[in-house]
Amino acid sequence: MTTGVTLNQGSGARESLKPLEGKVAIVTGSTSGIGLGIAKGLAAQGCAVVLNGLGEAQAIENDRVALEQEAQVTVRYHSADMMDPAAIRDLVRFTVEKLGSADIIVNNAGIQYTAPCEEFPDEKWDAILAINLSSAFHLAKAALPEMKRRNWGRIINVASVHGLVASAEKAAYVAAKHGLIGLTKVIALECAATGVTCNAICPGWVRTPLVEAQIQAIAKKNGLTIEEATNELLSEKQPSQRFTEVEHLAAMAVFLCSDAASNITGTQQVLDGGWTAR
């Protein structure tokens, strides 16, 4: 495995400049948006990464190669379907076989659908719960035994402010994210006496493809420009009137993987521009 940048001192000693060098991360939903941003943040700190998610095969390969070359770490891709527990287990097996361990798990895969509760399609409810919540359980379940054996691990669940508060017409998403916060706390308690931590990151509005689709829907519904729809989206919930940046979430994930965060577990790290302070 290619390692990170090093500093050779006069004595011949080798001192790593990258604090996560030698660690291996699985980041789900990492072919775009928040997941790709977190994968880049971890790789920049010397962490090998396994990407996972949907997209056009050549575009995914281009991103994989670019990240590998930029960060000088090993980057692999696995196409595990987050609705399939067997595929999720295979993702962990693949990571351990190819890269030697699965030290960091970032459960980021997620989908969205909006409709009033009485009109919410059953199949959309089932898919959102499976991908946004159950996949995190299955991935943690598969990775935890080896993390505990090695007495080191980081599980980071990308939840949302919707894991803490609700919005209308998002029954499945809010239920899944609240469930993800609960799962985070349970894993944290079960691992509290070990070197394994589990925390959630709860962003407010981040300008990802998922949020972009909501902006376009607001514009279409209310006859607004994209700029007007963006302002309407932010003003309704996020007092800062600014999107949380993907890079902010990546930096938080890197921090939660650091030694400084070794006694931080079971928490919700909120990056929401004041949304939940109301």
Assign 4 a pLDDT band (cuts: 50, 70, 90): very low
Average pLDDT over residues 32-42: 97
- Is 271 within 8 Å of 248 (Cβ atoms)? yes
Average pLDDT of the chain to the nearest whole number: 93
Q: What is the DSSP letter of 178?
A: H
Count of CB atoms within 10 A of residue 113's CB? 16
Would you state the pLDDT for residue 5?
A: 37
Q: Is 77 a catalytic residue?
A: no
Check pLDDT > 90 for residue 16: no
Q: How confident is the model at residue 211 (pLDDT cuts 50, 70, 90)?
A: confident
Write down the pTM of the prediction.
0.91
pLDDT given for residue 6 in this prediction: 36
Q: Which of 77, 94, 125, 173 is catalytic?
A: 173
Nearest 5°: CA angle at 222, between 127 and 232?
80
Tell me what percent of the residues of the chain surpass a pLDDT of 90.
90
Side chain identity at 236, as an amino acid letter? E
- Please give the average per-residue pLDDT across 203-208, as a whole number: 93
CA distances from 75 to 34, 54, 68, 120, 235 (A): 17, 16, 5, 38, 39
